[in-house]
């Protein structure tokens, strides 16, 4: 039986504080780790001594519009239903600049 992911890289999400973010791939997540700060947003995944296990079902890597990243618990984020193409393109451009730097 195949497990289905709740989120996919490229999805625009919103957390309950109103912040927008972009779901990123595992490779992109590893690429930005040393370059940007971890945001520690409300609802991020935290387990002392436990490594992140990005599976897009329980733990979702997200890059936020304030230039930080986090591994979020899937129950604390929500796909946006609004048409926010401007926010998505802004986040993708910021992410591209970080990866090129």
pTM of the full predicted structure? 0.89
- pLDDT tens for residues 4-27? 778 999 999 999 999 999 999 999
> What is the rounded (10 degree) CA torsion for 55, 35, 92, 47?
30
- pLDDT tens for residues 84-99? 889 999 999 999 999 9
Cα 36 to Cα 9: distance, rounded to the nearest angstrom:
18
């Amino acid at each position: 039986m195949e497990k289905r992911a709740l989120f996919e890289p490229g999805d625009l999400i919103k957390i309950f504080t109103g912040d927008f973010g972009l779901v990123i791939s595992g490779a992109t997540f590893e690429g930005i780790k040393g370059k940007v700060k971890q945001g520690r947003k409300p609802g991020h995944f935290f387990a002392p001594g436990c490594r992140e296990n990005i599976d897009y079902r329980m733990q979702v890597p997200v890059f936020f519009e304030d230039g930080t990243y986090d591994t979020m618990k899937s129950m604390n984020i929500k796909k946006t239903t609004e048409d926010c193409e401007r926010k998505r393109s802004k986040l993708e451009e910021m992410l591209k600049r970080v990866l090129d730097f």
